[in-house]
Amino acid sequence: MTLQWVKVDKRRMCPQCRAFITTSDKVCPYCNTKVGPRAVEQRDPGPILGGLIPHAQFVTSMILLLNFGLYAATRALQFALRRRRLDGC
């Protein structure tokens, strides 16, 4: 993966000679390399949350599921312990 500018900026880097060019340049003025569309623009449409989470894949989903599972288990355990304590007293 090449270095990309995170900020919305007119600047970008030529992948060939790493000179700073603008997004409107179709051809690098320094080395005359044809510059493709930005990675943001060529990303396939339809990622979840409108691209807010660009690479939510299997591992991310599993971590989220595990996280929620632990939360649910903690809540259930809390509920059970509180109930037992109330019954005991």
Measured from the CB of residue 22, what is the shortest distance to Zn ion in angstroms?
A: 12
Separation between Cα atoms, residue 89 and residue 86, nearest integer Å: 6
Tokens of 79: 């509920």
Measured from the CB of residue 7, what is the shortest distance to Zn ion in angstroms?
A: 21
Question: Considering beta carbons, is residue 20 or 79 the nearer one to Zn ion?
Answer: 20
Measured from the CB of residue 48, what is the shortest distance to Zn ion in angstroms?
A: 35
Separation between Cα atoms, residue 62 and residue 80, nearest integer Å: 26
Question: Considering beta carbons, is residue 24 or 57 the nearer one to Zn ion?
Answer: 24
Positions in the binding site for Zn ion (CB under 5 A)? 14, 16-17, 19, 28, 30-31, 33
Question: Considering beta carbons, is residue 23 or 33 the nearer one to Zn ion?
Answer: 33
Measured from the CB of residue 2, what is the shortest distance to Zn ion in angstroms?
A: 13
